[in-house]
Amino acid sequence: MNPEELIALGVKVRENACADYSHYKVGAALVTASGKVYTGCNVENSTYGLTVCAERVALWKALSEGERKFTQIAVVTSSEPPASPCGACRQLLWEFCGDIEVILANLQGFQKTLRLSKLFPYPFDQSTL
């Protein structure tokens, strides 16, 4: 899947975000090795601590369907520059997806593509245990 198609899916699912508190909507589209795409949006809660990021929603949907190999993820925000995954999302993406391609994009058309290892250079993973 090309980056523009993946970003378009992130833009679309971003509109489903439950962001009543921060008003900061995020959409994510995660691609499996077989080319299947799982999307997710952020879901906030009044306690904030129970809020779940778009990246994790997409990842958990894919994992719950039996997917275990991933190639890329697009994360779409409205901010300039686009936001990158938070620390918790970076940890989970590394653990379950490895050094995948991460596409950061915003609604203004900016996009940047990099490997997860650039965002998360010293991960804690199974090799550490």
* Amino acid present at 32: T
Q: Which of 1-31 are b and which e, b meaning 16 or more Cβ less than 10 Å from the residue's Cβ?
A: eeeeebbbbbbebbebbebeeeeebbbbbbb
* Amino acid present at 73: I
Q: State the catalytic residue, choosing from 4, 5, 15, 55.
A: 55
Look up 4 and say whether it is catalytic: no
β partners of residue 104: 75, 112
Runs of H (alpha helix) within 22-71: 54-64
φ, ψ at 117 (rounded to 5°): -60, -25
How far is it, in rounded angstroms, from Cα 26 to Cα 16? 9
Q: What residues are labeled active site?
A: 55
